[in-house]
């Protein structure tokens, strides 16, 4: 007999007047899963999470929890949701995390235990007496996550939890979320448009397009097989498939095609997806002396004025998009066909 899924949706439909936000979504989530929901804005990711969290009902369809069909209200104690915008009260961190526990009329000793454990998990132990509203955006989001963890629900739903955070805060949140799933055993469904993030979490990935669930599978395999259409909708640039070979010094040589290779800081081996952000690439008319491990020669094949900067398209064996200032563009007098060098550090190559 097949084990019963923790949560299953059958033919879920959600309509807002004439707009179909979800169109017949069938999804199974197993105990301990990490599932990343990916898709463009308006694809239905947040709507699906809100239905799972019993914040709003579906127009039609069914939800099964541990094999039993449930109404929305029956999911309230089994799930909790952390939103993209951190919601904290102008009270102490302790009071913010304890809020849901007090609503459930838990004893003070149990509240103390759960608050302390949740703050430890989000790396905010010692913050109990600080005013939550005076924390940084990343710290406030971790308070919101701690409030959800403290409830000790079986299913944790996260809606773009790092979308408004700086890179350092995002990295901290990603590490905490991964730990909660792998070490804490929580079942997590996370909506994100950041595909590298979805791949680095591992687990499963579900692709939503126009309210329809189009593909579900292992994150690594699915993202590598759908590099073109999947990465384009997310607005990612400079995404390449390659073969990584570790060099023994913490870096790997990634072969993209023929003689085109990138050096990246990664322990990965075998087929990978590599990304270089346009703003992390230096454009030069001649080779320059620097510690950067990647120096590629190419020529300008496209120029787009984006008001605040200029996007330059360069053919360097693969097509690269590079973002530079108007001042740099004028000083180098770039035109179509201008020979240039692209220079970027090994640490600028993100690998999945």
Higher pLDDT, 237 or 44: 44
Count CB-CB contacts under 10 A for residue 126: 10
Question: How much is the pLDDT for 232?
Answer: 54
pLDDT one-digit tens code per residue, 327-347: 999 999 999 999 999 999 999
**0.75 exceeded by the pTM?**
no
How is residue 176 written in tokens? 């905490």
Confidence of residue 166 (pLDDT cuts 50, 70, 90): confident
The CA distance from 11 to 14, in Å, is 10
Question: How much is the pLDDT for 190?
Answer: 94
Mean of pLDDT values over 20-45: 90
pLDDT one-digit tens code per residue, 178-216: 988 988 888 999 998 777 777 778 788 888 888 998 888
**End-to-end Cα spacing for the chain:** 36
Question: How much is the pLDDT for 150?
Answer: 92
Contact 307, 268 (CB under 8 A): no
Q: How far is CA 304 from the centre of its chain?
A: 28
Question: How much is the pLDDT for 3?
Answer: 66
Helical ranges in 23-162 per DSSP H:
45-52, 93-103, 108-121, 137-150
**Maximum Cα–Cα distance for the chain, whole Å?**
72
| pLDDT score of 276 more than 60 | yes
Contact 238, 231 (CB under 8 A): no
Confidence of residue 218 (pLDDT cuts 50, 70, 90): confident
| Cα–Cα nearest to 29, from 207, 212, 188 | 188
Q: What is the mean pLDDT of the chain?
A: 88
How is residue 44 written in tokens? 């239905």
Helix axis angle, 108-121 relative to 93-103, nearest 10°? 130
pLDDT one-digit tens code per residue, 124-156: 999 999 999 999 989 999 999 999 999 988 899
The CA distance from 156 to 145, in Å, is 9
The SS3 call for residue 286 is coil
Mean of pLDDT values over 313-319: 91
User: DSSP string spanning 194-237?
Assistant: -HHHHHHH-SEEEEEETTEEEEEEEHHHHHHHTHHHHHHHTT--
Cα atoms in the Cβ-side hemisphere of radius 13 Å centred on 312? 31
Higher pLDDT, 273 or 52: 52
| pLDDT score of 2 more than 60 | no
Mean of pLDDT values over 43-63: 92
Cα–Cα–Cα angle for 51, 57, 62, nearest 5°? Answer: 80
pLDDT one-digit tens code per residue, 227-265: 555 555 555 678 887 889 999 888 999 998 768 999 999
């Amino acid at each position: 007999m097949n084990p019963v899924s923790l949560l299953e949706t059958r033919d879920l439909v959600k309509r807002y007047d004439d707009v179909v936000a979800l169109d017949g979504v069938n999804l199974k989530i197993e105990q301990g899963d990490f599932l990343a929901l990916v898709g463009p804005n308006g694809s239905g990711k947040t709507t699906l999470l809100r239905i799972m969290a019993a914040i709003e009902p579906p127009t039609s369809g069914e939800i099964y929890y541990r094999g039993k069909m449930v109404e929305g209200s029956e999911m309230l104690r089994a799930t909790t949701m952390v939103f993209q915008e951190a919601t904290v009260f102008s009270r102490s961190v302790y009071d913010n995390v304890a809020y849901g526990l007090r609503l459930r009329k838990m004893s003070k000793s149990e509240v103390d235990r759960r608050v302390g454990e949740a703050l430890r998990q989000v790396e905010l132990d010692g913050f109990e007496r600080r005013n939550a509203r005076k924390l940084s955006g990343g710290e406030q989001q971790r308070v919101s996550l701690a409030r959800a963890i403290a409830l000790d629900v079986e299913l944790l739903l996260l809606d773009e939890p790092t979308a408004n955070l700086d890179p350092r805060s995002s990295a901290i949140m990603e590490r905490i979320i991964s730990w909660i799933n792998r070490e804490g055993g929580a079942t997590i469904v996370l909506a994100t448009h950041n595909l590298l993030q979805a791949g680095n979490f591992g687990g499963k990935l579900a692709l939503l397009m126009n309210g329809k669930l189009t593909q579900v599978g292992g994150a690594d395999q699915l993202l590598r097989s759908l590099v073109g259409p999947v990465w384009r909708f997310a607005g990612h640039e400079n995404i390449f498939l390659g073969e990584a070979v570790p060099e023994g010094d913490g870096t790997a040589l990634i072969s993209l095609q023929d003689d085109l290779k990138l050096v990246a800081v990664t322990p990965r081996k075998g087929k990978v997806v590599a990304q270089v952000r346009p703003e992390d690439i230096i454009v030069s008319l001649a080779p320059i002396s620097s510690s950067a491990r990647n120096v590629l020669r190419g020529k300008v094949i496209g120029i787009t004025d984006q008001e605040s900067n200029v996007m330059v398209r360069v053919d360097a064996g693969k097509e690269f998009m590079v973002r530079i200032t108007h001042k740099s563009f004028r000083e180098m007098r770039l035109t179509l066909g201008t020979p240039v060098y692209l220079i970027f550090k090994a640490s600028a190559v993100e690998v999945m």
